[in-house]
Every structure is written in C-alpha cells, then in structure tokens.
A = this chain, B = another copy of it.
C-alpha cells in the first residue's frame, strides 16, 4: 500500500504553486527549482492537472500556471485523481463498469470499504489547509 511519488509530487507542487502565486502565474521552472522535481516530469503532471481543471495555464513570457479555482475548493483527492492515481485499493474495482466478483469475493467488501475511507479522508483536506499549514511552518 503505497502512494506513488507521482501523487506525492503533484500534491507538493500544488502547495508550492499556491504558496508563491498570489494571483500571478507561476512557472514550472520555479517550482522545479524550489521542490527539486525534474522540470520535464512536472510538465507531465501539470498537463494532467490542467485537464482535471485543477490549474489553468498562461502562455508566453511571464506565463505559468494558476489555480483554476480557489484553494478552498480544491481537495487533495481531486489532485491525485487528476494525475491518474487510483484510490481504489484493488484493480477489479477500478472502472466505472463495476466488479464482476462482487457476489463471490469474500474480501470484496473489505477493499471497497477501505477505498471509501481513503477517499473520505483525502477529500476532507483542501489545498488551502495544506498551504496554511506550510505558512505556519515557514515562520518558525
């Protein structure tokens, strides 16, 4: 049971973006330098974050990325969903088309319940929460 570094990077990058934005676009290059994440890898992530309508891009000089909506309205599970990291613990339950084993699998309910707990927890935390926390840490 591991959260992929892809998901971890995405969340860290989003916090960093929000922390340094203040209404202005932030370039991936800046985030790359501050968080020590390869620029080209960030690019991959932000393509997905844009499609997930978590951020919007501004092209040209002085461009970069902005939050697509207020940080309060961005939940951690949405960030992870966007980079295509499944939160459901077993593969047979992945797709929309349900799970054939539902009636047979004894253990189905365990994983299903676990998946709901995970989502529940991650959707209770917003990007704003994390940013506020980061700010208070920086002060010390």
Contact = CB atoms under 8 A, between A and B. Distances in A.
Secondary structure of the A side of the interface? helix
Q: What is the oligomeric copy number? A: 2
A111 B122 CA distance: 9
A30 interface: no
Contact of A8 (B90, B103, B122, B137): B90
A88 B15 CA distance: 22
A67 interface: no
A130 interface: yes
Contact of A121 (B113, B130, B133): B113
Nearest to A80: B1
A39 interface: no
Interface of A: 1-4, 7-8, 11-12, 15, 76, 80, 85-91, 103-104, 106-107, 109-111, 113-114, 117-118, 121-122, 125, 130, 133-134, 137
Contacts of A109: 133
Given A11-B110, A76-B110, A110-B11, A1 B118 contact: yes
A117 B26 CA distance: 34
